Amino acid sequence: MNNLKDYFKKIDNLSHAFLIGNVIFDEIEKDLKEIISKRILLKDNINLRENPDIYYYNQDDKLIKKEEIKELLEKLSITSQINNSKIYIINGCEKLSDVVANAILKTLEEPASNIYAFLISKNIDSVKETIKSRCQKIIINSSNTNKKYDEKECEVADYLIKSIENNNIKSIALNADIYNKIENREMLKDIMGILLDKYNNCLNIKATNDIYNKENSEILLNNDIITLSKKLLVINNFQGLLDNYLNKNSIIDRFIIEMWRCNK
């Protein structure tokens, strides 16, 4: 997607945290300023870097320390001066240390209704999974564009999409066919990456009214914006959970169930 504003025009209810990937902050600063002005603070002529209710951190200039996150949490608890909202922006979030990332998780796991996070990354694949799984991802330029997936993996990914979207799998007990097609956990990881690209591309098409791209499964376009967003969050979450599950088949079962629930 090339225009951040077009994406947000299609969203009625804002998420508490957005991870905007594969982009340079300076290139989206103007659009982000307009989004925050019109959708959150409801005030014109704001400055993202000098505003009492916006906290801007740039990892490219100086690495964030744990003490700064503690100060941020304290500031977020103070009453807002504009429209009862607080916002923090972290540019270069792929460089967060483990200690700082864990400190930030508190605002992502237990978000207050008036706090919004915008995390910016030049390389979304390098962002820690604990962060990615708790944010709504917006990929401006897909970093997977140049990644070559095995032809068989792409075929299995398309088969899985059709099975989920057409409700072809009537019972979890009938998943044996998919178990056999997905040979191991590494293959499953690649398939999750393919699914992420396909669902994200279709969400971008819906949000920007782009012409249909033949690389996307046409069936995905039957989903609305909200459903696509839910399914992307499911895929994001499972990418982060893959290393925590010992049984490949149980991961597949749970994944399919969660994807089905998004349609309700």
Q: Each residue of 167-196: pLDDT tens digit?
A: 755 555 556 788 888 888 888 988 988 888
pTM given for the model: 0.61
Please choose, from the candidates 136, 140, 179, the residue with its C-alpha nearest in 3D space to the C-alpha of residue 156: 179
Kindly tell me if the per-residue pLDDT of 239 is higher than 50.
yes
**pLDDT 10s digits, 85-102:** 999 999 999 989 999 999
Structure tokens at 236: 């994001």
Quick one: pLDDT at residue 58? 92
Strand positions, DSSP E, the chain: 17-21, 54-58, 86-91, 115-121, 136-139
Quick one: pLDDT at residue 72? 93
Quick one: pLDDT at residue 90? 96
- Tokens 């002529």, located at residue: 45
